Amino acid sequence: MLGVKIEIFKKIGFVFIFLLVAIGMGFVIYRIFFGPLVREPATNVNISLPPGTLPPTNVNINAGVIIRNINGVQEVVLPAIDTVARGGNTLAEDVPAEAVSNAEVTERGIVYYNEFEGKFYTLDKDGKPQTLTDDVYRSAEEITWSPEGSKAILEFPDGSNILYDFDSKKQTTLPKELSDFSFAPSGGEIAFKFLTDRKEHRWLGVSSPDGSQARGIEQLGENAEKVTVDWSPSGQVIATFRESVNAEDNEITFVGLNDENFKGLVVQGRGFQSQWSPAGDRLLYSVYNAQGNYQPELWITDAQGENIGRNNVPLKINTWADKCTFSVNTAIYCAVPQTLPYGAGIVPDLAASTPDIFYKIDLATGTKTVIAYPVDSSGNSRFSAEKLYVGNDGKNLFFTDKQTRKLQKIRLE
């Protein structure tokens, strides 16, 4: 009798276990085929990229991305691109100008040389290229524009030099011994280096644009490479001469037309590059030194008459002077590389492809403001700028992209 009861309990147990297994399997099948889909909410993810990539470390790859959920459907919205510089991603518009070289803002507007075609252009009021002349000059290496934009001096690889007048459509051949040209603010004279094989015949000189009425200003001797010809807007200075003070510092001497004894400027580093303010009373410059990891650093100083060297202060921005431009006498726009490696001041090509951030520096208040992260229409930050200039109306900031040689424009207002 006891054995029969045990057998009955076993059968009941097997049935109970079978029911539990069946219920469990049914629940699993239901969850797989009919249950609600559970998704992890989208979150911002911080990752570390290998050194040397952009951005270099700890970058939020979803920064600025908006995830919208509409009726259960998720939609990814990319960060907005401003059409006017307000401090965020800003559209760098394509100006219909190709193979841009030696672009400049003159009294007649933006002018440039197309290095592929060998032709000269200006931009009309609608921003479209218009030829300045039908004459073609291929392989020009350097172009120096007159302030009014009516003349240009062309330097060629074989050493030949030509002055071209865009109004008269005439050219004048200049001596091969001339190089490193700079126009006077009036456009009526040029400064240059006169270089020969004999060092006693090497001079810093001035003349009319066609080379007539030439006269020597300073004998260069063996120091030609230490001299930079750059006629100041005030007309007082035609060149600067740099000389080592010690292992790190240089002294900059200002050379005038009439043997003036200008004060010197001691700069804390090497690799001196400079740019005059529109009034010619200040000098923006960049140098590098060991304390700054041999990266370029911007400085500003008074640079006229007895005030030369006064208010010589660092701007605490790491870029080169030739990546900046004055807007008015108290405002500067600069393209600043997002990252700079050690030694970039010595070898600028290390940062040639690094995207830039655009800053505005208010010299009256000392305020430095990020105005734009220039991007293309797809939101890509890829622009490495050179030759910045503000349009004559002050509404647009132009620059040449180093990678594409195209002219770009950022709207300031």
The verdict on residue 302 lying in a domain is yes
Give the structural domain span for 141.
89-411
Residue with tokens 């069946």: 22
Contact between 108 and 132 (Cβ < 8 Å): no
Taking the C-alpha atoms of residue 144 and residue 154, their distance in angstroms, rounded to an integer, is: 7
The verdict on residue 38 lying in a domain is no
- Which residues, in sequence order, are CB contacts of 119 under 8 Å at separation 6+? 113, 131, 133, 136, 137
The verdict on residue 24 lying in a domain is no
Bond into 341 cis (ω within 30): no
Percent of the chain with pLDDT over 70: 81
- Which residues, in sequence order, are CB contacts of 114 under 8 Å at separation 6+? 97, 98, 99, 100, 101, 120, 121
**Model confidence, pTM:** 0.80
At 69 the pLDDT is 55
The verdict on residue 78 lying in a domain is no
Give me 70's structure tokens. 């509409």
The verdict on residue 56 lying in a domain is no
Average pLDDT (348-367) is: 95
The verdict on residue 346 lying in a domain is yes
The verdict on residue 276 lying in a domain is yes
Give me 329's structure tokens. 């006498």
Contact between 340 and 351 (Cβ < 8 Å): yes
Q: Does the pLDDT of residue 348 top 90, yes or no? A: yes
At 49 the pLDDT is 31
- How many separate domains does the chain show? 1
Q: Three-state SS for 324?
A: strand
- CATH code at position 244: 2.130.10.10
Residue predicted with more confidence, 261 or 120: 120
- Which residues, in sequence order, are CB contacts of 182 under 8 Å at separation 6+? 144, 190, 191, 192, 229, 230, 231, 238, 239
For 144-174, what is each residue's pLDDT tens digit?
999 999 999 999 999 999 999 999 999 999 9
For 38-90, what is each residue's pLDDT tens digit?
333 333 333 333 333 333 333 333 334 455 555 556 665 566 899 999 999 99
- What single-letter DSSP state applies at residue 247? S
Residue predicted with more confidence, 388 or 259: 388
- What single-letter DSSP state applies at residue 36? P
The verdict on residue 11 lying in a domain is no
- What single-letter DSSP state applies at residue 219? E
